Amino acid sequence: MWRQTTFALATFGLGLALMAGIAGAAETVDLKVGDTAPAFEALDDTGKTWKSSDYLGKKFIVVYFYPADCTGGCTKQAQGFRDDMAKLAKDDVVVVGVSGDTVESHVFFKKKESLNFNLLADVDGKVATALGVPFTTGEKEVKASFNGEDKLLKRNVTTKRWTFVIGKDGKILAKNTEVKAAEDSKAVAEVIAKAKA
């Protein structure tokens, strides 16, 4: 009961912050392990709407937030999930990477790194806000090259590197706010193994 009340109050506070148009309102939500994860959706790297509700009851959902496409740590993190994706998929896991980059930037990053999972374009910070992930606003850019193609990737939202694992029942199994980028997929695999044991 206490957790439900806390979550309801956090959600109410979030709604007030959003109505007031306060940037960075994500800090008003503090989800804990065992809490029900909020539903969320955003455009993915195909330009289609990806909805968490499509996977509830069917899959473990890994939602990892990262600052920017085509940067050092973020690339290592994405490569880790790419390389472990076959095993994760066998364990009924769906992985989505979330950043403030645009769909176009995600398309480039996914192609460059041969990623085999979806990237969500959280260009307004709504997904980060829903899960309580801190972010900053302000235009930033990254220069990237692939197969002789140069790109200037611009974004207006930069999130912290946090990872959530959501169980098939919709409850949060793990929340990592101190992610080691290159080791994130291994840490997630351990959480899933314990959950299935």
Positions annotated as catalytic residues are: 74
Torsion region of 58: left, alpha or beta (phi above 0 gives left; psi -120 to 50 gives alpha): alpha
Q: Please tell me the distance from the alpha carbon of residue 6 to that of residue 17, in angstroms, as a whole number.
A: 16
Q: Judging by DSSP bridges, how do beta strands 172-176 and 49-51 pair with one another?
A: unpaired
Measure the CA–CA gap between 71 and 117, rounded to whole angstroms.
Answer: 18
Question: Cβ contacts of residue 25 below 8 Å, gap of 6+?
Answer: 14, 17, 18, 129
Question: Which residues, 6+ apart, have CB-to-CB distance to 5 below 8 Å?
Answer: none
Residue located via tokens 């999972």: 117
